[in-house]
Structures are given as structure tokens and as C-alpha cells.
Structure 1
Amino acid sequence: MSRTATTLIRLAMLIVFLGAWEVLPRAGIVNPMLLPPLSQVLAVLGDILARSDFREAMAVTAAEVVVAFVIAVPIGGALGVLLAENAYLGAIFRPMLFYVFSIPKSIFLPMFILAFGIGFGQKVAYATFSTVFIVIMSAGAAVESVKAEYILVAQSYGASRGQILRRIYVPSMMPILLEAVRISMIFNFTGVMIAEMYASRTGVGHMIANWGENFMLPQLFAGVIVLALAAMAFNELIRSLEARCSRWRS
């Protein structure tokens, strides 16, 4: 199927979904108290975006997401490469990492509240903790994806360690690393939202939690739309970079 056809199908599915969102509550098929019509949600969204307190909350959330992401990705990437390159350390720590990764991170949130209080540092630390494990495992998988024969050929021609890193490892690992970045942002974003919804006085997550607790469904769905659009924009940005880098593995 061509890319144009795929895009048209996706667009048609989106139109059907949005149309159903508007029609079903209006027709009474779905309780409008549970699912407000799309037009009502969009009207509320316009009002919310015009409010200074919501823009300030978006700025706080964006800062938390960016700082946690900048901390988690380099640390996780370095640890992942180290464990993949060192068989001894990998044999010791990898089972522990998989064990911790399998545990729901939300159960650790009270520990971060006790350690950092309720503020910017607590949300950044918790989001970093939620993100770093997926980066470690993805970076390790990226190292293992490098074909051994490429390294052997480079070494036979006298390539230095730095040249092998730049010419072999980086091009081969880049598509997987970009995929890891895309997935890690999901974990990072989710970590910030959980921290804001359960232990925060600021941020979009805090406002969404308040709207939900007070059954303000139009405002709740409007906030969800904002978060969804931000997540999709980042996802498409990384996907475009993945497409450009995929030729390096051919």
C-alpha cells in the first residue's frame, strides 16, 4: 500500500472518530455527562488556552519533561552501552534491571515525595527514574545490533577505537537509539503526569486531576487533547529522524 493511501485511510479513520465523538453524545447514544460533544470540548479548550494559569502550568510541565529527559537519556544510554560492552557487568546487573523494570514505578512515588518533597525536583527525579531503565535496555540492544563482521573488517584495516565508534557503532545504533528516545519520552511524559496528578501543586497533570475530581469533563478532555497533541508532535519528529537514519543500516 502506498504512503498516500495509508495517509488517506488514517485521515478517514480520524474523521470518523471525531464525527462519532460529536454525534453520539448529541444523539443521546452516549451519556453527554460522561463524554461531552467534541464541539463543547473544543470551545472549552479555546477558553483554557487563553488562561494565563494554564499556560503557566504548561510551561512548568514542559520544563519538568525536558529536564528529566535530558538527565535520563544520557545516563541510561551510557549505562546501557557499558553493560553491553562489559560481559561481566552485564551478567551481574542486567537481571536486576529487568526485575526493577517489571515493577510498576508508581509504587515508588511515595519514596520520591519523602526524599524530595512536593516540587519541581520530585517530579523530575521520579520521571527520570521512570525513564532511565527503558533507555538502558534499548541502548544495550542497540550495541548488540552492531554486526561483528563490520567491526572485524574495520579492525583489519587498522581503524582506531574512535573511528570504529564514529563509523560503525553510531550509524548502526542510531535507528534503534532514536526508537529508544521516542519510547523513553512516553515513559518520561507518563512519569511527570503521575507525579503531577498525585503529588503536585502545579502543572497540567495537577489541573487535569482537579478537573477529574470535580467531574469537569469538558475541561478534562480538553487537557487530554493538549497532552495528546504534544505527544504526537514529538513522536512524529522522532519518526522523521528515524526515517532519515534508517538508510545507515542498509
Structure 2
Amino acid sequence: LYTYEILNSYPHDPKAFTQGLEFFRDTLYESTGRRGASTLRKVDYQTGKVLTSVALDKQFFGEGLTVLNDTVYMLTWQSGTGFMFDAGTLRKLGSFEYGESEEGWGLANDGVRIFKSDGTQRIWTLDPGTLQETGFVETVTDNSVFNKANELEYVEGKLYANVWQKESMMIIDAKSGAIEGVVNFGGLKEKVGQHPDLDVFNGVAYHPGRNSFFVTGKNWDTLFEVRIFKKEG
């Protein structure tokens, strides 16, 4: 079991239905959901200012993202389609279709491969050149199967996965799928501005230069910089 310590709090767009969150060259990339309101954006994380934003076509429900080799890869939920964008300009470069994976939920990468969650117990690996699914692991503990991995972040051999509808995060071995830890983010939602559209905890990004994680939620007005550590006892 792990818990967290808040290091800093930053402004966040309370109208952003956050799906994906990732740092690339000190800029925060964020994808947002809902049909008719889905966007991909570059954000100054310290001020919350949206530097650049592009909207998806109205039929798509935006989901997770990852950035690799100056390309942003972004999923949509139930359309079976993902998109590629230029990381600098956010100009759309193309699209790709899913293979056997059921839906589009979260994305991450280890510098070579892309990892994709789809709302089941499987986390798929994708070839970034072809976007073909090359295999999968199943996320399991010593006595159960876990099928709620949502937004993903890869750090040093581990996948950090938001748990859909829970204020918690799983730490998953990227090679085996074994769940090695659970981070309890209980209490974080109470620290943001309360309003009728406030939704669930979602969004995790690791900043390698600061050696810290950044987390938020859907329609939250705050982005938290946190340190994760094991609970005592």
C-alpha cells in the first residue's frame, strides 16, 4: 500500500474532462473527453494556461494519450480509432484502427513500445511504427484479476494506472502485468473546488526532471504535484 504527499498545487481548467496527461519537454499534454467537446491541448502546468488546443470531430469521445518521437498518439473511446498529431504544432498526422482490443482508454510508452488499456484486464503493447497490437499482459494480483486500468503512465519498468471510478492508482509490472502496489489518493477530491460538474479522479503524469507525479481529475480546478511513498506498517 502506498500513499501520497502534496508538493505543490497548480491551476487546472475546471471544464477539462481529463482523460490523458503526460509531460514532454517540460510541457504538459492533456486530452479531454465527451463527444462534441473532446480536445488535445498543450498546457503550461504552472499557470494552467492552455498554450495550444485542437478539437476532435464531434462524433469522437477523446481518451488517453502518449508522446513518443515528437508524435502525440491519442485514443478515442468506442470508435475503434486513434489519431497521431505533431507534438509541436498539434497538426493531425493521421489515424489508426484498433485491432483486437475492445475500446480506447489509456496510453503510455517506454521509449520503444506503446501500452494501451481498453477497459478489460488486458494492457496491450503496440508497435509505434505500425500501431499494430503486438501482444498483451493481464493485470492480476495474487488472487484476483483487475479490469479497471484507465489512464496510464510508464516509469522505470512500472505502469501507473488510474482505477476507473476510484481514488486510487495501481502500480503494475509492465512485463508481467503483476500488480505490485496500490496508491490510495483518498481525500484529494475534497481539496478541489466543489461544483455540479465535478467528476472522478483521473490523469497521471510523471515529470522526470522534478522526480514527481502530477495528478488531477475530470473537471477539477487543481493539478496536484505529489510524491508517492509506501505506507508505514
Pairwise TM-score range, normalised by the shorter structure? under 0.3
TM-score (norm 1): 0.19
Which structure is larger by alpha-carbon Rg, 1 or 2? 1
Which protein has the bigger helix share? 1
Q: TM-score, normalised by structure 2?
A: 0.20
